[in-house]
Structure 1
Amino acid sequence: MSRPPTSRPWTGHSTSRPYTGQSRPPTGRPQTAASTKHEATYVVAILEGRGIGREVGIAALDRETGRVNLVQLADCPTYVKTLHQMHIHRPCLVLVPDTFISVLDTTLAPSGKHPNSTSLLVQCILEEFECVPVEPVLRKYWSDSAGLEFINQLCVEDDERAATLVTVSNKYYALSAASALFKHAEVKLNTRFAAASLRIRYLQTEGTMMIDPETARNLELVGNMTSKRSSHSLFGILNHTYTAMAARLLRVTLLSPVTVQTAIDARLDVVEELVQTEERFHEVKDALKTMHNLDFDKLISSLVSSEARDFNTAKMAAARVSQMLNLRSIVKNMPLLARALTGSRSQLLQIIQDMISDERLEKIEQLVSSSLNDQSVLQKGGLGAVNARVYAVKANHNRLLDVARETYKENVGDIFTLNSALSEEHGLPLTLVYQDSGFVFTLKKSDLEGELPSGFVNVSAKKGKWVFSSVELKKRNARMKDALDESLILSDRIIQDLVADIVVDIGALYKASEAVALLDMLWSFAHASILRPEFTGTLAIKSGRHPILEGVQSAGTLVPNDVYCCESSCFQIVQGKSTYLRQIGLLAIMAMSGCFIPAEYGSFRIHDSLLTRLSNDDDMEKSLSTFANEMASSAMILGLATRDSLILIDELGRGTSPGEGIGISHAIAEQLIRLHSYVFFATHFNELVMTLSRQPSVVNLHLSVQKTRHSSTNFGMAFQYRIVDGAAEALEHYGLDLARLADLPEDVIAEARRVSDKLTELEARKHEDSKSNKIAIRRKALLRLKTQLTQAMDHSTLPDEELIAYIARFQKEMTRVLQETL
């Protein structure tokens, strides 16, 4: 689709695009990049209301698994929340009303009335997912009543059906999007679903943490920024799953961690039990291994879907027979997994065991076993795979099928007889190999002297062998193929009758799929476990390590760091280490996902969103300057931030002059301080340390540096890569020492040092004498005392004598501060 030129930040792609000749103002949205590491499978329909509230409805259908999710939310002008949901549901196609497309975009506007400009929402989608096609759907198909009728007809009969119908009944935009989505599936995808066969859910956005796409990209949650194929991401580090469902669940969990503490604790209980009980850990592992490479969701979708326009071919019949053999394998392995969970302590494991022990699964297994041969086992390729499908259905189910299979058997026998006759006639050790087109002869090149005898056709060489056929073999292949197709089509009729019986209890398969996915993901967490985090409302980490770097660097080389952030120190200025900020964000995501963390101790707060402005490489081809890009990110953060947000900002204001950068950084920081969000603010502006330190909740941190002896190759400092309390020592001016290593003249460096020392001394004297500075110190001390006393009262388990001594230290410290500042 053509799209208008914009002033929006660059998305990380460099492909050129045609323009529509339209223009629009910047969206004020930070740069993002659609994830391409994981294959996109969702068809997403999106509808926006016409009011000023920017109400957006989303309906997403996974083409592979058949799962349908509905979302309706009130978004901001930058559509960050909508794009966040689209990143969770990776789109392969986006559907929008045709009235959202400009009249100039004739390639996308087949008919109807169109506005003079493409809607802002569509433009944002095009920029964010520039490789994903956007297809208009006629406005008449966006009907809330039709959407509710679709959902009422297709939603599976399970415990959540009633709640889903009640919840979506007044979600006009989500229902309208669902109507267009199912109409597109029928007309364009040629897919029709059986009644009461789809798992349709309405997703509440309030129960998960909002992570904007830019944050997900910079923190490398699901993909490495340097290489798409690299596994060095949080997903790559934690993904030890066996099933495709669990890998999908892990990706969604990392992009939108849970914010309900009871749910997080339940997950942590499971991980802890698997870690502490080695026998259970290995029993679950062995049971999950039997399901390796089996995708329950995809299998269920293939069972309940059919072609809207029926094309009954042998190839489709073979696929359905294979699906039924896979289903039998799954339901037969469920009892093994249930036995592995027998006697579990954690409540969530008990719930999972109940879900996979559903008596309806046993009923499905009996239905399948009554129709399929026990000896039929699906194979990967060759004649064995074909025979497994041909003889999958038991004998005597259909006399015509028995006759067709007997004919197929005789034709295959005729082909082997031909092979034996030709081998004897020509004195050559010919062998038969089955391909999609039928049998061919093969012969090792070492077994042939000279040329092949006459009568052989289609000769080719492959891996040290001659591959060829003959006219007679082609004739017998044709007869065999007819009998094979007839056998598969007759088998498919029996399979379809079996599917009709299974669909009645399809809800049990959905429940089992969810249970296995969750268990597999939590087992994966246990595989990578270190220490269980707790949730107390205070962010406190002892010897925390960057989880991705820990998996990349050699053991023992990563320097751990401590973190402490509470109500009295919720705004922390960090000088010198961007990795520290990323580490905090990653550990918080791991903890809220229900995973253990790489640390000696970890206490966390439940955050409703993770918002970041992290430094990244610049490019002249970006449509926004560095500074405008920073301001777009800052506007997004200020618009979405709440008291419960976790905010990470790195080097704000670096894209403009130092004076303006300091002023804007200070103003944004003050706004965040008033919100009482947990903020980690990395900066090299020393002036901010002075201007913001008057705020009671501001804490200064810096990168520890050790002084060393000056030499011709050493400027007298060694970085320790450890964060410590307090502001950095600005008097050192180690930049001048670096300048000396660059061979600047000594007299220039001496004069620069003299001026710098003098200016710094004057500034420090003014700061020490400042009355407001002394007031700020007293306020911070009182706020710190309040927090310490509250924590002691609420959480202390010390004996009375030790508690009195502990409180006495607070009194002594407070007395010292008052004496120095009064």
Structure 2
Amino acid sequence: MSRGWTAQSCPATARPQTTASSRHEASYVIAVLEGRGVSREVGLAALDKDTRRVSLIQLADSPTYIKTLHQLHLHSPSIILVPDTFSSLIDTPMASGGKKASSTSVLVQCMIEEFDATVDPVMRKYWNDDAGLAFVNQLIVDDDERPATLVAVSSRYYALSAASALFKYAESKLNLRFAASSLLIQHAQAEGSMMIDPETARNLELVGSISFACLGKPSLLLNHTYTAMGARLLRANVLAPITEQSSIEACLDVVEELIQNGNRFDNVKNALKSLHNMDFNKLICSLAASEARETSTAKLAAARVAQMLSLRNIVKNIPVLAKALTGSRSRLLRIILDMISDKRLSRIEQLVSETLNEEEASAKRGLNAVNARVYAVKANYNRLLDVARETYKENVGDIFALNRELGGQHDLPLSLVYQDTGFVFALKKTDLQGELPRGFVNVTAQRNRWLFSSIELKKRNVCMKDALDETLIMSDKIIQELIAEIINVIGALYKASEAVAIVDMLWSFAHASILRDYVRPEFTGTLAIKAGRHPVLENVQAAGTLVPNDVYCCEASSFQIVQGPNMSGKSIYLRQIGLLTVMAMCGCFVPAEYGSFRLHDALLTRLSNDDDIEKSLSTFANEMAS
């Protein structure tokens, strides 16, 4: 059987693809297993390399594998794992003597053509459902959803087999090992979200240069999020809006409350600001994961200490958000308040406070950042650590004494700059007349200063670095003991991460709605929009120049033809309908005087994508202009 064409290889009237071609950097490792039966059962296990979240999916697909490709696109694969018996195009890794397939399955051919990702075969013996269930049972976080997840996946033969191969690959090839009860493993349903093909995502500009939910330009349209988790959730909802009306209405209730209650809006904004640039998911995954082949170095120790300092800041700031949500009337906000008021978070804060100093967040670079890691653990917690820190302090003092000595000897206002290799001397160019005195080496020029060293400074740097490494490694041992205790209650951090992401996304919707006077949509059996405005066009055109449009479509008129001359706005009109539908199903208000929508399980388009909204040029006018 031959495979359907893709949008890259033929006109878009062929088999539709399943997501936007412009998407964020691929970060998932996905194991895919196809059944040999008539029903075309496909199991997927997806591991996010950045956040270490795992999704298990099993579905019955069509001969063109549209549902499987849609799920793969949503998870942005960088590596796709398949059984070695499924492909003859690639060599078998992970073990010698693996069988080589005589032919390549249609699904593997589809994935090779569709994705710019590495396709790695894994020996068939590692695709074992019993081993997969054992992995899931061992690694899944111990929270309220654990029993339901285990029951849901226990009968998913193909998803569990894919999970077995995925975790085996992570250990042998990615050098990753996870602590028991530390991973957020979810059974993801293939249904429950609207499928958007890649041509539609591109035509509606859901992602891209003037993106509807552009992660790189938070000033545009909907994305006013403060946290990485909120931005990721926003992108996921825009590319696959939910189809459950009760869930959509719950989101709309939150947006409405934030719009109507100015104090709550401002309090939530300030709370989210305190969590700005904090990525809970990456922090949690760094706590849960370790190297399968341990390498204890000062660099890794410094990273773990920095992670624990970030955790300290997170658990200190979450109560600020809880206070901002206290007294909320919408049910979803009350649920979120319960999630971030978990007593286990207080336990984590207590553990961290007993071990780490209470200073504010450290600088990201330079000597201040190093000192924050050196003195992260409280004094008198470990006597040997105190001795190592004192040695480090004396070595740094010796380097500053050398700086004063040489500055006085040569009558130069020398200063010290800390780099990864240690300290170097710095001198403003305006303070140097002629050449540097003899004895200085490794002279380099920067914009307004000279950087250089000396033999004696290099010697003292070596002593300082030795003391620093010893201090960090000893601190790391204490941190690892702390991590072992925190992992027992890590489920509270996963819940807090999800809660903050939801609040951040919905606050972003409320912010966009206030800025542009959006209204709350309704969900009925009729598509009816009064004075609807294209959200992207409204953002780039001068106020008062945009012409609103009405839309009406019901069972009696479900098929309509829109006609008009070039530059009359036919494509913009169609895109406006699609965008407003996506916004409404994401739980956001819409740019209109009134909006009534239907729930859809798919959104497919065939539109020319050569017009230029910012210059008000249609496809025809753009061709003439060029």
SS in 2 for 1:612: coil
72, 78, 85: which one pairs with 2:64? 78
Secondary structure at the counterpart of residue 528 of structure 1: helix
Secondary structure of 2:600's partner?
Answer: coil
Q: What secondary structure sits across from 1:458 in the alignment? A: strand
Which residue number in structure 2 is paired with residue 92 of structure 1?
A: 78
Three-state SS of the structure 2 residue aligned to 1:441 is: strand
Q: 1:156 aligns with which of 141, 144, 159?
A: 141
- The higher radius of gyration belongs to 1
Give the secondary structure class of the aligned counterpart of 1:71. Answer: strand
* Paired position in structure 2 for 1:674: none
Offset at residue 213 of structure 1 (A): 2.6
**The residue matched to 2:373 in structure 1 has which SS?**
helix
- Trace 1:656-667 onto structure 2 (pairs within 5 A): none
| 1:535 has 2:523 as partner | yes
1:341–1:318 Cα change, 3 Å? same
How far apart, CA to CA, are the structure 2 residues paired with 1:7 and 1:375? 60
What is the Cα deviation at residue 33 of structure 1? Answer: 7.4
Partner residue of 1:121 out of 104, 107, 110: 107
- Please state if 1:175 is matched with 2:175: no
Q: Which amino acid aligns with 1:188?
A: K
Among 438, 460, 469, the residue aligned to 2:444: 460
1:185 matched residue in structure 2? 170
2: CA distance, partners of 1:512 / 1:397:
29
Residue 613 of structure 1: aligned partner: 606
* TM-score (structure 2 length as normaliser): 0.92
Secondary structure of 1:442's counterpart equals strand
Q: Please state how far the C-alpha of 1:598 moved relative to its aligned partner.
A: 0.3
1:73 Cα deviation (Å)?
1.1
Q: 2:587 aligns with which of 560, 585, 594?
A: 594
Post-superposition CA distance 1:751-772 (Å, at most 9, x none):
xxxxxxxxxxxxxxxxxxxxxx
Distance 2:7 2:243 in 1: 31
Q: Residue 222 of structure 1: CA displacement?
A: 2.1
- Alignment check: 8 A CA contact 2:339 2:496 kept: yes
Residue aligning to 1:498: 482
**What amino acid does structure 1 have at the position aligned with 2:135?**
F
Is the 8 Å Cα contact of residues 218 and 225 (structure 1) preserved in structure 2? no
Aligned to 2:132: 147
Deviation at 1:499, TM superposition (A): 0.6
Shift of 1:36: 4.5
Q: Which amino acid aligns with 1:536?
A: T
Supply the distance in 2 between the matched residues of 1:516 and 1:211 (Cα, whole angstroms). Answer: 26
CA distance in structure 2 between the aligned counterparts of 1:561 and 1:34, rounded to whole angstroms? 27
CA deviation digits over 1:321-375, x for unaligned, max 9? 0111100100111111111011111011111111111111011101100000112
Q: What is aligned with 1:221?
A: 206
Q: Of the two structures, which has the highest relative contact order with CA contacts closer than 8 Å and spacing of 6 or more? A: 2
Say yes or no: does 1:585 pair with 2:569.
no
Distance 1:456 1:606 in 2: 73
Q: Which residue of the partner structure matches residue 621 of structure 2?
A: none
* Distance in 2 between residues matched to 1:285 and 1:12, nearest whole Å: 46
CA contact (8 A) 2:91 2:121 kept: no
What SS is found at the alignment partner of 1:514? Answer: helix
Deviation at 1:10, TM superposition (A): 4.4
Structure 1 distance, partners of 2:526, 2:192, is 20
1:259 aligns with 2:258: no
Query: Who is 2:558 aligned against?
Result: 570
In structure 2, distance between residues paired with 1:227 and 1:365 = 38
The amino acid of 1:315's aligned partner reads K
**1:715-726 map, 5 Å:** none
Counterpart AA for 2:188: L
How far has the Cα of 1:427 moved from its partner? Answer: 0.7
* Aligned-residue offset at 1:40: 1.7
Question: What is the alpha-carbon distance in structure 1 between the residues aligned to residue 391 and residue 409 of structure 2?
Answer: 27
CA distance in 2, matches of 1:603, 1:122: 42
> Quick check: 1:385 aligned with 2:369?
yes
Report the alpha carbon displacement of residue 558 of structure 1 after superposing the two structures with TM: 2.1
Match of 2:423 in 1: 439
Deviation track 1:406-465 (CA, whole Å, cap 9, x = no partner) reads 000000000000000000111111100000000000111111111111111111101121
Query: Can you give the 5+ residue segments of structure 1 that lack an aligned partner in the other structure?
Result: 14-25, 619-718, 722-822
> Contact conserved, 1:542 with 1:600, CA < 8 A, in 2?
yes
**Number of positions where the alignment pairs a residue of Structure 1 with one of Structure 2:** 604
Contact 1:27/1:78, CA 8 A, preserved across alignment: no
Structure 2, unaligned runs of 5 or more: 565-569, 619-626
2:396 aligns with: 412
Q: Deviations over 1:198-236 (max 9, x none)?
A: 110001122111222332222221224899999799x95
The 1:593/1:320 distance shift into structure 2, 3 A limit, reads same
Structure 1: how far apart are the matches of 2:254 and 2:556? 34
What's the secondary structure of 2:605's corresponding residue? strand
Deviations 1:167-226 (A, max 9, x none): 001111111111111111111111111100111000112211122233222222122489
Note the alpha carbon deviations across 1:551-608, whole angstroms, 9 max, x for none: 1222222221111111111122222312222111111111011000000000111112
Distance (whole Å) between structure 2 residues aligned to residue 399 and residue 241 of structure 1: 44
Question: What is the TM-score when the length of structure 1 is the normalising length?
Answer: 0.70
For the pair 1:203 / 2:200, whether they are aligned, the reply is no
Match of 2:263 in 1: 279
Secondary structure of the 2:595 match is: strand
Q: Could you say which residue in structure 2 is the equivalent of 1:19?
A: none
Question: 574-583 or 152-161: which moved more?
Answer: 574-583
Q: Distance in 1 between matches of 2:489 and 2:267?
A: 28
- Paired with 1:617 and 1:51, the residues of 2 have a C-alpha distance of 43
Residue 480 of structure 1 is matched in structure 2 by 464
Cross-structure match for 2:40: 54
Q: Secondary structure at the match of 1:72?
A: strand
The 10-residue stretch of structure 1 (185-194 or 120-129) with the greater mean CA deviation from structure 2: 120-129
1:548 aligns with 2:533: no
Contact 1:68 1:200 in 2 (8 A): yes
Distance in 2 (CA, whole Å) between partners of 1:27 and 1:163 is 41
Deviation at 1:32, TM superposition (A): 7.0
Equivalent-residue separation in structure 2 for 1:539 and 1:229 (angstroms): 27
Moved more, 174-183 or 385-394: 174-183
User: CA-to-partner distance for each residue in 1:507-565, whole Å, 9 max, x for gaps?
Assistant: 11100000000000000000111100011121111011111221122222222111111
SS of structure 2 residue aligned to 1:207: coil
Match of 2:287 among 280, 303, 327: 303
Q: Distance in 2 between matches of 1:231 and 1:502?
A: 33
1:129, distance to aligned residue in structure 2 (A): 1.3
Do the aligned partners of residues 210 and 111 (structure 1) sit closer, same or farther apart at CA in structure 2, a change above 3 Å counting? Answer: farther
User: What's the secondary structure of 1:285's corresponding residue?
Assistant: helix
The 2-side partners of 1:524 and 1:377 are apart by 26
Quick check: 1:419–1:430 contact (8 Å CA) kept in 2?
Answer: yes
State whether structure 2 residue 313 is matched by structure 1 residue 329.
yes
8 Å Cα contact 1:69-1:203 kept in structure 2: yes
* Preserved CA contact (<8 Å) 1:376 1:392: no
- Mapped to 2, the partners of 1:225 and 1:300 lie a distance apart of 32
Equivalent-residue separation in structure 2 for 1:12 and 1:476 (angstroms): 63
Structure 2 vs 1, CA of residues 231 and 506 (structure 1 numbering), >3 Å: closer, same or farther?
closer
- Structure 1 residues 368-390: Cα deviation after superposition (integer angstroms, max 9, x where no partner): 00000112632111100000000
Code of the residue aligned with 2:181 in structure 1: it is A
1:619-658 equivalences under 5 Å are none
| Partner residue of 1:429 out of 413, 432, 437 | 413
Secondary structure at 1:135 match in 2: strand
CA RMSD in angstroms comes to 2.6
TM superposition shift of 1:27: 12
Q: What are the residue-to-residue correspondences of 1:98-109 with 2, within 5 Å?
A: 98-102=84-88, 104-106=89-91
SS at match of 2:265: helix
Taking the aligned partners of 1:207 and 1:560, their CA distance within structure 2 comes to: 32
